[in-house]
Amino acid sequence: MIFTETKLAGAFIIDMERLSDERGFFARAWCEDEFAAHGIHQPPRQASISSNPKRGTLRGMHYQIAPHGESKLVRCTRGGIYDVIVDMREQSPTYGQWIGVELTADNYRMLFVPEYFAHGFITLQDNTDVSYQISAKYTPGAERALRWNDPNIGIEWPFEPVLLSEKDRNHPDIQLAVRM
Ligand SMILES: Cc1cn([C@H]2C[C@H](O)[C@@H](COP(=O)(O)OP(=O)(O)O[C@H]3O[C@@H](C)C(=O)[C@@H](O)[C@H]3O)O2)c(=O)[nH]c1=O
């Protein structure tokens, strides 16, 4: 697996190392030792998928607060997404900053989302499926969210979403903690 750390420390774009032959290729999609070599010691405890019939569906920006932080390994298994994360670690030098990456079924690219990062995506095609491995249990009381177009974060989406949940449409503006 090829790990490329992003400008948000601890968040990695991960590409598969393809072992190809006439049948196609074989590649590792997760490996305890390779993740540990990059300082990640959070084996998945849950795997989930979301299925999105419509292009322009936006889900996010979600995270869980301590002690229920969850890291996620995200991959698109059908269609494509623009996947976005925001660093919500108050002590981090990149607190409040975001990055986006295109994950498609064809590019097999994955994004490793550390704990205490808000995560969300917009679908680039109809019939897009997203698969996650998650390091912690779903704990509804610990869920927090940013609104996709919060001006205090300023995410640049590739286009306007056409479908959002009622909940995700209405998250209030965030007040980022003041840094000394
Ligand atoms: C996230 C989640 C939801 N649910 C339930 C709650 C609800 O009835 C239904 C749909 O939940 P939501 O509207 O929160 O689903 P969704 O908006 O797709 O939430 C997901 O968004 C992306 C961006 C993520 O990063 C994921 O971790 C997750 O937060 O599924 C679970 O049972 N387990 C889970 O782990």
10: left (phi over 0), alpha (psi -120 to 50) or beta: left
154: left (phi over 0), alpha (psi -120 to 50) or beta: left
**Res 178: pLDDT:** 73
Q: How far apart are CA 84 and CA 101, in angstroms?
A: 7
**Res 148: pLDDT:** 98
Q: How far apart are CA 80 and CA 89, in angstroms?
A: 28
130 CA closest ligand 1 atom index: 22
Query: Which of 50, 51, 54, 62, when mutated, tests ligand 1's pocket best, judged by the most ligand atoms within 8 Å of its CB?
Result: 62
Which residues share a beta bridge with 130? 50, 76
**Res 175: pLDDT:** 86
Which residue's CA is the nearest one to ligand 1's atom 9?
50
* 39-60 pLDDT, tens digit each: 999 999 999 999 999 999 999 9
**Res 45: pLDDT:** 94
* 73-116 pLDDT, tens digit each: 999 999 999 999 999 999 999 999 999 999 999 999 999 999 99
* 156-166 pLDDT, tens digit each: 999 999 999 99
* 118-144 pLDDT, tens digit each: 999 999 999 999 999 999 999 999 999
Q: What is the pTM of this model?
A: 0.96
**Res 179: pLDDT:** 65
Look at residue 177 and tell me whether its pLDDT is greater than 90.
no
ipTM > 0.90? Answer: yes
Give residue for tokens 């209405």. 170
60 CA closest ligand 1 atom index: 23
Q: 58 C-alpha vs ligand 1 centroid, how far in Å?
A: 12
Taking every pair of Cα atoms in the chain, the longest distance, rounded to a whole number of angstroms, is: 58
Domains of the chain and CATH, by start: 2-16+28-169 (2.60.120.10)
* 11-38 pLDDT, tens digit each: 999 999 999 999 999 999 999 999 999 9
Q: How far apart are the first and last CA of the chain?
A: 38
**Res 180: pLDDT:** 56
